[in-house]
Structure 1
């Protein structure tokens, strides 16, 4: 793989991280609404955004042979990941929710072993185990922790995202276009959440609608960014840069919501990011 493609992948993944941090901020600003309702409007905007690009670039609205199952799996895991992430965003400090969702690159390593048949070395397995150990400082699994359930749901969101990104990588390797992957996923998510929206709709004010529309636009940017990133370079080479979202989320959480993560959360961030950096340099050295 050329260095130019790697740099493009890095640029796309940092841009994606910033967009997803904005998305979480707008979701939180939309107020007390069900996660399913927030997910529907977020994906509805992303669907139309992707559809316009598909029409402009004259991309056929048809997947390549053998890719339908992969698109369905990408969409299923992606939808579960979004629902869990939105729940965590509404119930945790913004940086905590983002950090748990950013366990996804480690889940990508695990799922890549089973789905893409990529080898996982002993050191890579140790880095993944270290990241999970770091996540415990954020989750703090004790019965006295009132945020335990949202934290576990947030971690499940990272798992769903990791599986979804693995299927994005496989679809890209099989020649599927990024806009079609985003459009299919957004349409699938809207259809799955529509029945829950119809029977449990919560009235929204104008500002809430605006925040969800902005969340959808930010999400579309994030989806196209992550799809382009994993289309240009393997996850093992660029996934560490996805952690820039924690910096963006911590800054937005502080300036917009006045949130300051506690010392245990910061310790968890440090451990997880350290494992990500170690894995990044290990993979580069292994490739050379």
Structure 2
């Protein structure tokens, strides 16, 4: 079954460039503004959207994304509300892939079968669930793939050769390589080390490889795009949204433009790293 993610990465390969994957938290800073930001991202240059599912205990996220989750939760964002956001986005965009990223607990509480059916119907294309290891694939990964939703797995600098086959076994859509150890948004990647890691992963899988964590600028994005199939930007984008808010963390007239403006810069960096187009 071909998903929007498969279609988008095939198109990027034909164009001879890397893609830009942008992360925002659903409902941040409020549901209405969050939808406006989502709708603005593709036109600004986002090729794939990662949409965070706000959770009260986001253990893998740095302080910037944790704060965005808290802002969303404060405004009543729920898992059902996140699916509503995707559904509303799909009313005007049926092409841009959306990957939900988060933790298993809200999905488990919602009910796995119910969640997958509703996510598919809403227009979700992929899942990244950071606290479900390969040993738990039967919980969500295998049912998701059966439902036509890609299950994207994280590979980290500490994933060794012995562990790699298990990580890759049921992964689909793309591989997300975490360029640094630790939580999101807390360090700058070593670009030469990232290039070597991407090459090593590429030797083991035909899936596209997206690289994230620590990408803050157009120059960072261009450096990553030299070797990766996509560049993921999250904390920098969430920080741009935060910087546009008023003292009460409420949206201002400049909030959507703050997000879109940074995405345009990052997209320019990604697109500056041209590679030969596929035949």
Superposed pair shares fold, TM > 0.5: no
TM-score by length of 2: 0.29
Q: Which has the higher Rg, Structure 1 or Structure 2?
A: 1
Q: Which has the higher contact order (CA 8 A, sep 6+)?
A: 1
Larger helix proportion of the pair: 1
